Structure 1
Amino acid sequence: MDLDLAKQLLEAERQRLRRLLATTSEAKLDDSAAERAAGDGDVDAAQPLEHEAIDSAIEQSLHERLDAIARAEKRIEDGTYGKSVESGRAIPDDRLAIDPAAELTVAEAAGRHRRDH
């Protein structure tokens, strides 16, 4: 993949993730307010806590994705972008166009998913 295009795709993904993080932060604030308001007995107090836990999990996932983008940018600098971090095999441009932070080939990612689950 053309490295300038890869940089553009990574930056676009970073901006998208930052917008999602801002939205998630707002949702967490709303859930915290709902949790405080639930003390009046009219609302199920567990529901805001559940939403806050979900918001936290989403926020963590978004931060992990931002970390993956930073690693991809480091691979661009190092000259290893577009190669699997596991095997060194080339990651197809089609995959990088869809996921510019991809670290594994599709087969390697599927194998890792099977091992982890």
Structure 2
Amino acid sequence: MELDRAKQLLESERQRIHRLLATAAEDTLGDSAAEREVGDGDIDAAQPLEHEAVDLAIERSLRERLDAIARAEQRIADGTYGKSLESGRVIPDDRLEIDPAAELTVAEAAKRQHHDY
């Protein structure tokens, strides 16, 4: 993949993630306000904790994605972008178009995901 195209894709992805983080923060504030308004009604006491856990998981996932983008940008600077971190094999352009921060080939990612279960 051409490096200018990779940089463009990574910047677009970074902007998308920042928008999602901003939306997640707004949703968290909205959830908190709604829970305060309900007060001592029939709301399940565990609901605020569940919402908070979900919100934190989403934020953590988005921040991990930003980290992956930063690592991809570092690989561009190092001259190793587009190569698998595991095997050094070339990651196909089609995969990088879909996920410009990809660190593994599809087969390697599938194998790793299978082992995570």
Same fold (TM over 0.5): yes
Any stretches of 5+ residues in structure 1 without a counterpart? none
Match for 2:102: what amino acid?
A
**What TM-score do the two structures reach when normalised by structure 2?**
0.94
Contact 1:35/1:48 (CA < 8 Å) preserved in 2? yes
Alignment-derived partner of residue 77 in structure 1: 77
In 1, the alpha carbon distance for the partners of 2:20 and 2:26 equals: 10
CA distance in 2, matches of 1:95, 1:78: 20
Structure 1 residue 32: Cα displacement: 2.4
Superposed CA deviations along residues 36-94 of structure 1, whole A, max 9, x for unmatched, are: 34541332222222112111100000000000000000000000000001110000000
> Aligned equivalents of 2:33 and 2:87: distance in 1?
48
Q: Which runs of 5+ in 2 are unaligned?
A: none
Q: Distance in 2 between matches of 1:42 and 1:110?
A: 45
Alignment of 1:7-26 (within 5 A): 7-26=7-26
Structure-1-length-normalised TM-score: 0.94
Q: Which residue of 2 aligns with 1:33?
A: 33
Alpha-carbon RMSD: 1.2
Bigger drift between 60-69 and 20-29 goes to 20-29
**Shift of residue 28, structure 1, vs aligned partner:** 1.5
Matched residues, number: 117
- Tell me, yes or no, if the aligned pair for 1:34 and 1:48 is still in contact at 8 Å: no
